[in-house]
Structure 1
Amino acid sequence: VPPALSLDALLAQLDEEDASCVPEANVPKSRSRQELQESRPEKTNPRRPYYYDPRFSEASSAAHRRSEAFENIQNQSLREDAQTISRQKPRSAETRKPSHWNFSFNVNREVVGAELLEMGEDGELQPPAQDPKSLPRTGKGKAEPLPGLPGLRQGPLRTEPGLARPGSTALHTSDLAMGCQGSKEVVNDEERLSFLSKVELFKRLPRDELPALAKSAVVVSFQKDKAIIKQGDEGHEFFVIKKGSAGVDVNGQRVATLKAGDYFGENALLRDEPRTATITAASDVQALKITRDKFVSLGLHTKLEFGKRGAVGGGAAANAEIKPPSSKSDAEKQLIAKALKENVNLNTIATLDDERVKAIVDVMWKEEVPSGKAIIQQGDLQADYFYVVQSGSFQVSKTEAAASAEKVASAALGTIEAGGSFGELALLYFAPRAATITATADAVVFVTARQQFKELLMKANQRETEENMKHVSRCDCFAALKESEKKELAAAFLEMTFSKDELVFEQGERGTQFFLLVEGEVSVVKDGKEVSKIKATPEKATYFGERALQQDEPRAATIKVISPTAKTLWIDKESFEILIGSLEDLMKRGKDGTAAVKKATVAPKAGDSKRFGNIKFKDLKKLGLLGCGGFGAVEMVEDLKTNETYALKNLSKGYVVKSGMQSSVISEKNVQLMCDSPFVVKLYETFNSDQHLHLLLELALGGELYATYNKRNLWGQEKCAKFYVAGTVFAFEHLHGKKIIFRDLKPENLLLNDKGHVKLTDMGLAKVCPGKTYTTCGTPDYFAPELIASKGHNLAVDWWCLGILTFELCSGHPPFESATPMQIYSKVQKGIQKVVFPKKLKGNIEALVKGLCNATPSERLPMKKGGTQNIKNQAWFEGFGWDEMANFTLTPPYKPTVKSKKDAANFSANKEDMPPQIPYKDPKTGWDQDTRSTMPTIPSSCRYKRQRCEICVSCVNTMTR
């Protein structure tokens, strides 16, 4: 076959072939060459290579099929028919081996190459033992121009595997490929499938959907220095690099390099959002590209299986070994101090002044590390230490196959020399190590543990408590308190500021808060007339609203601010009684000096008591896997006695103990028992087996909100966002009324029931806290600034998270989204004012988000006077049916498809996502014994003798506060 064979010559050669192996008499008259030429399609749109097989079963029908196939070449649907013909086995023996010509066409449908395949003994087509001499040849891997076809190149007969069928000719064009300048090539589906199956996003697809996705991928090429995508542009294309490398630039700085197998733009398949980086070809790049339109047309967006963004927690710091401090020379102290101050990440999470640096230096101890030892292992759960290198060097490595641009950028692999430091995330919270760090030479390091670091930060934050303590000590109504009780009370006070003419409270409204006036002056107004003025003084505490601590009754007067600003400290009745007891009993103690304060005499109900004790573990039948969490799996189960279905959360006790999260797990159970709201998933029963703790929970069959948003493309739909944000407000009202901080709000922790109503779930990081707590935990995208700085946080942290949720539901991504946690924390510390809001969020949405994400916790909308009503009064919620929402009469914007109470179609889970199932050996501490569905009793050794000890989980588990 000549390099540029005409159709006439092709048909003539085929006629000669036919005559050589089939008797002329048996061949029906074919249409003339002129008729065939006239039936050729016009030279317009390019078409894929077409294959024809002149093998014969019955000679007459084969000739007829050959003629019909060429006549209908313009009909794309017949391509499959022709391929089917070529695969048929001959029914009669021939004098020669059946053969198959595989033709390649150019964009004008002219034949530019061909290969001869023969049928083997197994009936499969394969290249002949000796290549036909008539086929055009080229040098190794070198493309040569085809005669008479400008701009087209014929590749070698044997090309790189996957780029074309073996022996076939690959076509290269200079056309624009779907908006990208580059080249298209014939790529086999197996190779596409191999590449795409490594992409994290596509691992969430059912396996049988991947072939269709692979066929939709287009091969595109980019020349060196060509920008593939640009930061800030709206994206709708996803790329996987096949060959070459590309640079990742963020704000003009090169942050990473992508290689073959890496990918970028996966979120563009799901929603509109600006590109977070510029990707530039560092060499000639060949990539697979998939567009959102194609992805959606295949229906794949509805079949994705989305995992949860991992939360981080306090972890096993208390169990970490802490060695005595080592003596240090002045040079060593200077080296450590310099390393601490130069660690950008460390300075992001803490203000390291000279005092704090000196404190950290003083507690560090020295360790020797031999060459070849991995001081940190990727995935290690014992992630409690921070290191400063005195001598030697360390290699950072990370085991990861194909990765997204964001993951590659976050790897930051390299070498750490003397004077460097690593492990700073371990000082903030518990999370498995992200990389392996190995000594490449004998080394010496200085070490400190998270617990030490946290204690140092807490000491610095004690100044605020000490200042509050001064005001509490000056208050005569607290004179009967012991010093330890005053300190406890001082730590629980919250700050609230007011402007001139603002009302602290009004006459006649229900009183729930007691106020200490720290700065400013207020007027006391009764029946419209000013009766007195109260001014803050350093000598004596000024307070008002004390009757609210004694009994719920209407305010007797109005308090109005008359100074430019006023600063107050406040505490409500429930928090006061949890900590101290009733004010009435406290005053009796002051009078007679003998009566003990009776603290919170009325024990709270553990939700609806009727729902407990009715279900037996042996009666539960497993129906399927719903999801995987940090410590175990969640399964759908059926109670065989009632046929009701539930979600059974199984927590691996071995993994819990290994990660030091025993108290957190028991806290989750106790908090869940306290909840009884239609906006919060209910707990029905708890069980304890040899290897697991089990929580039997309410089943919400509509699935996770995060997966629903992705599958149904709800991002940016305000009607949906309002509904789900409002439901979260009601959930937080319920939790905060019981002094429970949730701390892990995100779309993954919101479920939909079969009607479409939203429910808050996963109390793994929730905690009862009437004042402040210092454990750093949550999901990095949702971290509040006080969490990052370890300043202590209270209920206000949940309202920050609600602001982040609102932004994400309305835009498709969190406001501080970045490639690494430390980059997120750096942005958070700069504040919400630095965030560029998309145009569609300008106005009312922006006002709400900024009101919730105020850097000062006391200034967040629900923490100010008016509470959650400040959210409900926002312009964005104008006309929203809050009462209907509370009564579940407001129609949800989206109703999931649920066919029965056993239908788990809205959930997806992979067993590969299961956390390590570490065998559990009972440490004989009894930590797992208190898993019954009743509130814990007061330990006999509890020095506080709390009547409401169930409120203080720490007291229950450690017998100390």
Structure 2
Amino acid sequence: MGCNTSSTAASSSASTKDGKTTGNAQDKQQAKEENKQYQATMSFLSQVPLFMRLPKDQHPILAAACVNQPFKAGQTIITQGEVGREFFIIQSGEAEVLVGEAGNQKKVAALKQGDYFGENALLRNEPRSATIKAVTEIRTLKITQEKFQELGLNEKIQFANRKAVGAGGKRQLVVQPPSEKNGDERQLMEKALKKNENIQTMVKLDEIRVKQIIDIAWKENVPSGKEIISEGDLIADYFYICQSGTFEIFVADAKKGGQGGRKLVQTVTAGGSFGELALLYLVPRAATVIAKEDSSVWVIDRKNFKDILMKVSDEKIQEYVKYLSRVEILSSLLAAEKQQVAKALMEVHFAKNEVIIQQGDPGTTFYILFEGEVAVSIDGDEKVRLQASEDRGTAQYFGERALLHNEPRAATVRVVSKDAKALALDKEAFDLLLGPLEEILARKDQGNQPSKAGAVAPPAGGAGGGRDPNRPKILMTDLQKVGLLGAGGFGAVELWEHKTTGETYAMKCISKGFIVKTGMQDSVITEKNILFMTNSDFIIRLYETYNSKQSIYFLMEPALGGELYSMYQRKGFYGSEKHARYYSAGVVCAFEHLHERHIIYRDLKPENLLLNEKGHLKVTDMGLAKFVIGKTYTTCGTPDYFAPEVIASTGHTHAVDWWMLGVLIFEFMTGSAPFEAPYPMQIYAKVLKGINSVKFPPQLSPQCVDLIKAICQKEPADRLPMLPGGAKNLKAHAWYKGFNWDKFVEFTLDPPFAPKVRGKKDLANFSVHPDEMPRFIEYVDDGSGWDKDFATC
């Protein structure tokens, strides 16, 4: 028995030892599997665009917050229209994406392992855009909005700003003389232009325009292997039509970790075309195009293309000149001066019974009626009716003495037709163009010397366009850097401190090499002049500019509360009318200040709106702003915010700023722009369809929808602030009911959000996304002296 006991004990001992061995092996295997699964989760997460903007040290926290969520075949994971608060990654199995009303859903995509959906739900409550249903049994990783925000991950995301695009400045384009073309070649080009959906989206090409574009094209031979377009290239000036051969289009492959890998996305053969965005504006090339064999192309440059589009406008200007020639008081204007006035005329629309001029009111504006009928009354008695027709080319004019003196109106002019259209010009704009009309009339006795026709640039110094001479100079040597606030492709904004006073400033630095390469010399000079011309509490102030060998600098007012775009994303302000009213009101006040000075802003978006330490809004970045009397034809701005007339290159006025305000309010209330799409051309197609084609989320109040639609009218003259009454129409709109504008402009109305700013050197509300770190292009002084006025002290 003792033996048995001994044997049993030994056996028991061995069993325990084997059990531990087996258990350890199982534990190791389980740990190995868990580690493998964790690594897979990390890998999945690193592919999601939203999480790419999360600092790497936060990814383990994110991965740990994910929970396993299985679904059975046929089970609905999310439902179209429902407000989403969860994000999913598929680990195994398949799902389908369905769009449409219940019972009439259409499959638009299939999802498999590694696919994900619902990432926006982590930042904001927004309706699901599709229904997703499990096809097979699937396993997913899920994280909820509540958990994401509980961990503070929404506060740590670095948001890359949407990039604005410009027109290319005055950089010289290399343009070849047109090449001879036979009938077959012309036919091939005509078909290519009409077949290019992107061009057809941008502009209406009638037979005359197509012929003119073909006329200016030149032919180039491209040897096999030559890279005709390089992705990321800043010099993007040409559109190509393939005459013969084959071209392959490649884009960088993000999955290869930025190691120079690229993937083939399209092949173009004879009759195909590429590079059409270059016809609209200056933007870095989005792809690389290589000749697969010896090939030939027709080349069309941006300048000639835009000139062709503007010829219709030239015809309009000549028509306006004819109208002006009938105005007796303007008979002494020279032909060139009439051209200038014609270009400055602003189209305005009126409804039936609307009063255009009220007897006794101060007169500041002159009108040319070109469509409709008005009644002219004195002391309540109708004296005459004036009729005009655009089709018949007849026009009437009234209020012309307003160009001489701001004297009271002698009569009332009221619309009696269904509607009326007129061209308007105010005295201030006329004086800026040509000088006082009294002086022009006096020329008859002085040999009819020409006036300052075309002098529409703002004054270069003093009260109009220079630093305040009464303020002490701030020397760059008296400043020291604190840290980085923000960055763009070829510049940065840093916080600097005055060594003596302790005051801090935002220093914007721009590469001079980049400025010259992109032909933006005039643009940065204009930005400087405009900033010195403004004096509003709703616009960032400029104190000094500096100049160094490689860079120019703008020393500006700091706004340490942060960028509104990031704040909205992190704090989830989307959908809040309280926030949207307050911040849009700041934009309205900034625009009023700019438009009074004939400045068009042109780049409104949340990224260009800052908060100071008290939570007050400041508009920043005048890089695309322009001093304009009448219209300008530069295509620039941020695609999500483009107005129809900017896309069509038909010329635009400050009405584009009000269009952008409507887009901004929509984005504040929904979390996305109304015409948002993955690619610029898709955005433009939506914009040209109009605001009435946009689906407004049900949570928007009727007053909000009405305001956005009233601002985003396709016809610039029909936009709410462009109607008689101007910005007052906005302020009186029902959506702003209860909003105290007087308190707002006096800064006694409490902001809806108070940012945390611990002091004058606090950088906590700013972060720079790695993709935005600045690069500099070597600058070699060309001796032109374009930068000489940047050293203000």
TM-score by length of 2: 0.90
Question: Of the candidates 611, 628, 647, which is equivalent to residue 752 of structure 1?
Answer: 611
Query: In structure 1, what is the Cα distance between the partners aligned to 2:111 and 2:289?
Result: 22
* Structure 2 residue 228 is matched with structure 1 residue 369: no
Work out which of the residue numbers 496, 501, 510 in structure 2 matches 1:637: 496
Deviation string 1:12-60 (CA, Å, 9 cap, x unpaired) is 9997369769xxxxxxxxxxxxxxxxxxxxxxxxxxxxxxx97xxxxxx
Contact 2:334 2:450 in 1 (8 A): no
Partner of 2:427: 573
In structure 1, what residue type is equivalent to 2:119? Answer: E
What is the distance in 2 between the residues matched to 1:311 and 1:481?
A: 40
Equivalent residues of 1:608, 1:676 under 8 A apart? no
Closer/same/farther in 2, CA of residues 316 and 667 from structure 1, 3 Å limit: closer
Aligned partners of 2:489 and 2:775 also within 8 Å:
no
TM-aligned CA distance change 1:253 to 1:116, over 3 Å: closer
- Please give the residue correspondences for 1:907-918 in structure 2 after superposition, counting only pairs within 5 Å: 907-910=766-769, 912-918=771-777
Shift of 1:424: 0.9
Taking the TM superposition and a 5 Å limit, the aligned residue runs for 1:269-668 are: 269-276=122-129, 288-315=141-168, 318-402=171-255, 413-536=265-388, 542-594=396-448, 597=451, 604-606=463-465, 609-610=468-469, 614-668=473-527
Q: Which amino acid aligns with 2:353?
A: D
SS for the counterpart of 2:254 is: coil
Matching residue's letter, 2:671: G
Which string of whole-angstrom CA distances, capped at 9 and with x for unpartnered residues, describes residues 835-865 of structure 1? 1111122410111001100000001011111
Q: Is the 8 A contact 2:170 2:520 kept in 1?
A: no
Q: Find the aligned partners of 1:679 and 1:858 in 2 and give their Cα distance.
A: 26
Which one of the candidate residues 547, 562, 565 is aligned to 1:688? 547
2:632 paired residue number: 773
**Maintained 8 Å contact 1:228/1:278:** yes
- The verdict on how the C-alpha distance between 1:304 and 1:608 changes in structure 2, with shifts beyond 3 A counting, is same
**How far, CA to CA, are the matches of 1:524 and 1:422 in structure 2?**
56
Deviation string, structure 1 residues 557-578 (Cα, Å, up to 9, x no partner): 3221223332211011221112
Distance 1:276 1:441 in 2: 44
SS of match in other structure, 1:846: helix
Check 1:358–1:698 CA distance in 2 against 1; reply closer, same or farther (3 A cut).
same
Aligned with residue 599 of structure 2, among 733, 737, 740 = 740
> CA–CA distance in 1 between the matches of 2:327 and 2:11?
108
Q: 1:586 to 1:539 in 2, by over 3 A?
A: farther
**Cross-structure match for 2:698:** 839
- Name structure 1 gaps, 5 residues minimum: 1-11, 22-52, 55-98, 103-113, 118-156, 158-163, 171-185, 404-410, 935-961
Return the match for 2:653 from 775, 783, 794: 794
- Cα separation, partners in 2 of 1:16 and 1:650, compared to 1, 3 Å: same
User: 1:319, CA displacement in angstroms?
Assistant: 2.2
CA 14–467 in structure 1, closer or farther in 2 if over 3 Å, else same: farther
Distance 1:809 1:688, change over 3 A: same
Deviation digits for residues 763-819 of structure 1 (CA, Å, limit 9, x no counterpart): 011101111111111111111000111111111000000000011111111111111
Q: 2: distance between equivalents of 1:284 and 1:320?
A: 59
Equivalent pair of 1:612/1:685 in contact (CA under 8 Å): no
Q: Check 1:225–1:510 CA distance in 2 against 1; reply closer, same or farther (3 A cut).
A: farther
8 Å CA contact 1:479–1:590 kept in 2: the answer is no
Correspondence for 2:54: 205
Between the aligned partners of 1:345 and 1:668, the Cα distance in structure 2 is 32
Q: Deviations over 1:282-317 (max 9, x none)?
A: 999765433222211212112222221111111267
Secondary structure of 2:220 counterpart = strand
| Structure 1 stretch displaced more, 242-251 or 433-442 | 242-251
Aligned partners of 1:308, 1:713: CA distance in 2, in Å? 17
After superposition, the Cα gap between the structure-2 partners of 1:921 and 1:188, relative to the gap in structure 1 and judged at 3 Å, is same
Native 8 Å contact 1:637 1:646 kept in 2: yes
> Aligned in 2, Cα 1:568/1:619: closer, same or farther, shift over 3 Å?
same
Q: Which amino acid aligns with 2:23?
A: W
Please point out which of 744, 753, 758 is paired with 1:899.
Answer: 758
Partner of 2:259: none
Contact 1:389 1:418 survives alignment (8 Å): yes
Deviation at 1:604, TM superposition (A): 4.8
Question: What residue is the counterpart of 1:124 in the other structure?
Answer: none
For structure 2, the residue ranges without an aligned partner over 5 or more in a row are 1-8, 257-262
Computing the radius of gyration from Cα coordinates, the structure with the larger value is 1
SS at match of 2:496: strand
TM-score, normalised to structure 1, is 0.75
Corresponding residue number in structure 1 for 2:533: 674
Label 1:427 to 1:256 Cα distance change in 2 as closer, same or farther (>3 A).
Answer: farther
2:44 pairs, out of 184, 188, 195, with 195
CA distance in 1, matches of 2:59, 2:133: 28
In structure 1, what is the Cα distance between the partners aligned to 2:342 and 2:569?
46
Query: What letter corresponds to residue 339 of structure 1 in structure 2?
Result: A
Range with greater deviation from structure 2 (910-919 or 617-626): 910-919
Higher relative contact order (CA 8 A, sep 6+): 2
In 2, distance between residues paired with 1:354 and 1:221?
59
Match of 2:13 among 9, 13, 16: 16
Distance 1:296 1:784 in 2: 36
Partner of 2:6: none
* Deviations 1:710-754 (CA, angstroms, capped at 9, x unpaired): 111100000110011111000000000111111110111111111
Instruction: Describe the superposition over 1:690-716 as per-residue Cα deviations: whole angstroms up to 9, x where unpaired.
Output: 111100111011111111111111000
C-alpha distance in 1 between matches for 2:80 and 2:227: 38
2:772 pairs with 1:921: no
Note if contact 1:653-1:920 (Cα within 8 Å) is conserved in structure 2: yes
> Given residue 480 of structure 1, which amino acid in structure 2 is its aligned partner?
S
8 Å contact from structure 2 (residues 179, 219) kept in 1:
yes
Cα RMSD between the aligned structures? Answer: 3.2
Instruction: Note the C-alpha offset of 1:616.
Output: 0.6
Cα distance in 1 for partners of 2:567, 2:470 equals: 29
Residues 160-210 of structure 1: per-residue CA shift (max 9 Å, x gap): xxxx643x5x8xxxxxxxxxxxxxxx8543332333234332233333322
Identity %: 50
Query: 1:13 and 1:824 mapped to 2: Cα distance?
Result: 80
Partners of 2:134 and 2:192 in 1: CA distance: 36
Cα deviation code 1:657-683 (max 9, x no counterpart): 222222222221111111110010001
**Structure 1 match to 2:675:** 816
AA matched with 2:241: V
- Call closer, same or farther: CA 1:339–1:843 in 2, change over 3 Å: same
Query: What is the match of residue 260 of structure 2?
Result: none
Separation in 1, partners of 2:99, 2:637: 26
What is the one-letter code of the residue matched to 2:722? M
Q: 1:236 to 1:475 in 2, by over 3 A?
A: same
Residue identity in the other structure for 2:13: E
Q: Distance in 1 between matches of 2:208 and 2:81?
A: 42
Note if contact 2:466-2:529 (Cα within 8 Å) is conserved in structure 1.
no
Confirm or deny: 8 A CA contact 1:718 1:810 kept in the other structure.
yes
| Code of the aligned partner of 1:701 | L
Q: Which residue of 1 aligns with 2:26?
A: 115
